[in-house]
Amino acid sequence: MILKDGAACLRNLIHLFRPASSSLTSKLGACYFCTSHVASLQQPGKPSVFSSDDEYADLDWDNLGFSIKPADYMYTMKCSKHENFKQGQLSRYANIELSPSAAVLNYGQGVYEGTKAYRTEDGRILLFRPDLNASRMKIGAERMCMPSPSVDQFVDAVKQIALANKRWVPPPGKGTLYIRPLLIGSGPVLGLGPAPEYTFLAYASPVGNYFKEGSAPLNLYIEEEFVRAAPGGAGGVKAISNYAPVLKALIRAKSRGFSDVLYLDSVNRKNVEEVSSCNIFVVKGNVISTPATNGTILEGITRRSVIEIARDYGYQVEERVIPVDELINADQVFCTGTAVVVAPVGSITYQNKRVEFKTGSRSVYQE
């Protein structure tokens, strides 16, 4: 259907979403831009921070991995409670100053997003559907009682970060520039309540494959002791407080040689939800199934894109409850996410039993 490896996946997805005459374009609302458009993104009357050439940063592009390598510039804007965000600005990547009583530090009032910039063979820099990240941040911010940037402000910030840091965008096929927009309650509080001030940040780092296995199939472990999210909680939004609780299960699984953890629902412990860092898909025959986003599962941008493309290619796609027993009997399994792109699953271990799935030639994610 789609991809042979992470880089190819991103290339194919971006290609399909570029403005063109295809029917997918109008349906998916693509966003892309070229480095030649730098001038239109600069703030009037302010000196440009964009480099005048296309030289690359001094990095080993063949061995990027997925760890922080801060690019040159970050973007910041602030607002007070009950106000709207004003125009932000670029500055050199640096530490930020926060009050010890900042709401984000004391009560975890924060949400974040992740998106990527990709360099094409002809030198353009493309973004993958940042408007959807902007919309998802607005939903998450509302859940966490925070103001949020408008969609246009968010997309403009991401564009500025990508262009200001264009020498950190890897060469074609070598990786991507991961962009992290972050919205936090930066104002001081003591009693439990919303912060009086909010800060929106965006910074970037070049990255390669998310998993150490690279493009090799993943080996997942189904967690039965810990859960990722519960009904009525914030599992369906990208709240910063969702992620530290999964570390114990994740570290334990990785110490046993697994790639990541697959979580079950918190009520019955019988239905598949999602992996620590990505959504999951199950393939049986011509049917591709993924757990429905019912408030405990993050609505991934890549997840949504794969669903749309799969349906366009003639697959029957179902968003529904998936019992773990059905997962075990699947033909193929794969994961999706901004960081992981599309990753095949080679095996899943459940109750000390390892089940293997079809990968490689003629798999759905490669067709």
* Other beta carbons less than 10 A from residue 185's beta carbon: 28
**Rg for the chain (alpha carbons), in Å?**
21
Residues 282, 302: Cα–Cα separation, whole Å: 15
Residue 365 one-letter amino acid: Y
Residue whose entry in the numeric block shows the structure tokens 């940040």: 201
Three-state SS for 213?
coil
- What DSSP string runs through 229-289? --TTSSTTTTBGGGTGGGHHHHHHHHHTT-SEEEEEPTTTS-BEEEETTBEEEEEETTEEE
Residues 86, 54: Cα–Cα separation, whole Å: 31
Q: Confirm if 232 and 295 have CB atoms less than 8 A apart.
A: yes
Active site residues: 238
Burial class (CB in 10 A: 0-12, 13-18, 19+), 179: buried
- Please give the helix or strand (H or E) that residue 290 lies within, else none: strand 287-291
Q: Confirm if 139 and 76 have CB atoms less than 8 A apart.
A: no
Q: From 220, 221, 233, 241, select the one nearest 267 (Cα to Cα).
A: 233
Question: Which segments of 121-259 are extended strands (E)?
Answer: 125-127, 176-185, 197-207, 218-223
